[in-house]
């Protein structure tokens, strides 16, 4: 049987090389063509020695592919994606350019006017745990941001069940690879090592995604989210701690409440192969290099507060792995194809 041919635009980003790694182990899809920018014409394995087995050359343009991943930055991705879409290709866009349903959010959050607002309605937000049926039939999937993936999966069951008040705190801790491969002082080794800092205190671009998706889960309530991301000295991983007041009468006031809560989360994620509801406080290390999201909901009885912790690998479930999960659905393959490898520990 012929393998499906996939291409990656801008393979030289961290999401791009991670896509290449994961596609290499995919049994039904072949990475057939990749593009870069400054590195056009070079062998992929010369720029990224760990990809030498792939034997690909970085091209100026994709050719002969059935499905495309765009790993371009926001604003640059949209024109490429539109053009591919119009030519009939299936596209998974890793950038933010088709994630928000409201075109009016792009100028304020991303600093550009969206070129094809009508396509925003057609694009599907690629969080399979929420939108699997739509993804299955989509031609354009907007792959979620890394923070939203962890935050939405932490909160979705509670929001949908109406367990919590709308006022939510989301405190996220991310490894440095989330800042990308572009050289910046904040990701300079000697600055980032032995340091932790909060950033984007005026509002991070991933916030509107989180609000958009949680709002859809519960028509009666618009969440008001305070989201503070932090950079911590590790390469991969995001741990999100979410806090919200439990609505009166929604959960038993003792350990029985925790059991009810755990059951509710277990039920919500019953057939979701990449979400595991844990009994213990989870570690990002247990997702290193694989596509799992670990979710641990609990209750702080002093404050009648829901506390939910989620862990992902920001480059896998937070980017390239989720993109392949979406691709699998778009191609009619089992969701887990090529994504079964376990986390690399320790």
Q: d(Cα 67, Cα 94) in Å, to the nearest integer?
A: 13
Give 137 or 226: the residue with its C-beta nearer to its own copies.
226
Closest CA to 238 of 316, 171, 175: 175
Region binding its own copies by CB under 8 A among candidate stretches 61-69, 142-150, 212-220, 287-295: 287-295
The residue (of 21 and 90) whose beta carbon lies closer to its own copies is 21
Residue from the set 7, 128, 237, 257 that interacts with its own copies by CB under 8 A = 237
From the list 169, 228, 233, the residue with the least C-alpha distance to 200 is 228
Rounded to an integer, what distance in angstroms lies between the CA atom of residue 80 and that of residue 271?
Answer: 35
Rule CB under 8 A: say whether 235 interacts with its own copies: yes
Shortest gap between Cβ of 52 and its own copies (angstroms)? 7
Tell whether residue 26 is a contact of its own copies (CB under 8 A).
no
For residue 89, how many C-alpha atoms fall within 13 Å in the half-sphere facing its CB? 24
Piece of the chain touching its own copies by CB under 8 A; list 3-11, 30-38, 98-106, 227-235: 227-235
- What are the angstrom distances between the C-alpha of 162 and each of 156, 252, 297, 322? 10, 15, 15, 27
Sign of CA dihedral 322, 324, 330, 332: negative
Work out whether 254 is an interface residue with its own copies (CB under 8 A).
Answer: no
Residue from 6, 141, 210, 309 in contact with its own copies (CB under 8 A): 309
305 scored as a contact of its own copies (CB under 8 A): yes
Burial class (CB in 10 A: 0-12, 13-18, 19+), 39: middle
State which of positions 46-105 bind its own copies (CB under 8 A). 48-53
281 lies in the binding site for its own copies (CB under 8 A) = yes
Pairing mode, strands 90-93 and 140-142: parallel
**Which region among 57-65, 78-86, 300-308, 324-332 touches its own copies (by CB under 8 A)?**
300-308
Given 91, 119, 214, 343, the residue binding its own copies (CB under 8 A): 343
| Bridge partners, residue 34, by sequence | 8, 58
Q: Which residues are catalytic?
A: 146
CA 189 – CA 187 distance, rounded (Å): 6
CA-atom Rg of the chain in angstroms: 20
Supply 152's token pair: 């939405």
Q: Which is nearer to its own copies, 201 or 219 (CB)?
A: 201
Query: From the CB of 28, what's the least distance to its own copies, in Å?
Result: 15
Q: Between residue 157 and residue 196, which ones bind its own copies under the rule CB under 8 A?
A: 167, 169, 171, 173, 175-177, 181, 183-185, 187-196
Output the smallest distance, CB 235 to its own copies, in A.
Answer: 5
Among 89, 103, 232, 331, binds its own copies (CB under 8 A): 232
Q: Which of 42, 336, 276, 287 is nearest to 146 (CA)?
A: 287
The residue whose two tokens read 């277990």 is 266
Given candidates 75, 101, 215, 230, which one binds its own copies under the rule CB under 8 A?
230
Of the candidates 195, 200, 342, 188, the one whose C-alpha atom is nearest the C-alpha of residue 276 is 342
Q: Shortest approach of its own copies to residue 257 CB, angstroms?
A: 13
CB of 116 vs its own copies, minimal distance in Å: 28
């Amino acid at each position: 049987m012929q393998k499906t041919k996939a291409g990656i635009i801008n393979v030289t980003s961290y999401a791009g090389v991670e896509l290449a790694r994961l596609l290499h182990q995919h049994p039904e899809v072949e990475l057939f063509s990749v593009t870069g920018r400054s590195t056009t014409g070079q062998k992929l394995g010369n720029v990224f020695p760990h990809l030498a087995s792939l034997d690909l050359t970085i091209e100026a343009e994709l050719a002969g592919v059935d499905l495309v991943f765009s790993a371009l930055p926001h604003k640059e991705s949209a024109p490429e994606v539109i053009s591919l879409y119009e030519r009939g290709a299936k596209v998974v866009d890793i950038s933010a350019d088709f994630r928000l349903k409201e075109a009016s959010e792009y100028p304020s959050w991303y600093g550009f006017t969206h070129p094809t607002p009508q396509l925003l309605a057609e694009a599907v937000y690629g969080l399979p745990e929420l939108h699997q049926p739509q993804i299955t039939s989509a031609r354009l999937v907007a792959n979620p941001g890394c923070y939203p993936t962890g935050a939405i999966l932490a909160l979705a069951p509670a929001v949908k069940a109406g367990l919590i008040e709308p006022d939510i705190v989301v405190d996220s801790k991310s490894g440095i690879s989330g800042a990308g491969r572009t050289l910046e002082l904040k990701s300079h080794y000697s600055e980032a090592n032995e340091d932790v800092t909060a950033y984007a205190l005026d509002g991070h671009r991933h916030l509107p995604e989180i609000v958009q998706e949680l709002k859809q889960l519960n028509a009666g309530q618009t969440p008001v989210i305070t989201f503070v991301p932090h950079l911590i000295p590790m390469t991969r991983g995001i741990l999100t701690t979410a806090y919200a007041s439990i609505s009166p009468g929604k959960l038993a006031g003792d350990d029985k409440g925790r059991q009810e809560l755990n059951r509710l989360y277990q039920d919500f994620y019953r057939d979701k192969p990449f979400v595991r509801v844990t009994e213990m406080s989870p570690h990002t290390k247990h997702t290193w290099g694989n596509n799992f999201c670990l979710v641990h909901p609990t209750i702080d009885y002093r404050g009648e507060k829901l506390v939910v912790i989620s862990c992902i690998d920001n480059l896998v479930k937070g980017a390239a792995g989720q993109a392949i999960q979406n691709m699998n659905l778009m191609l009619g393959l089992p969701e887990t194809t090529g994504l079964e490898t376990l986390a690399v520990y320790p």
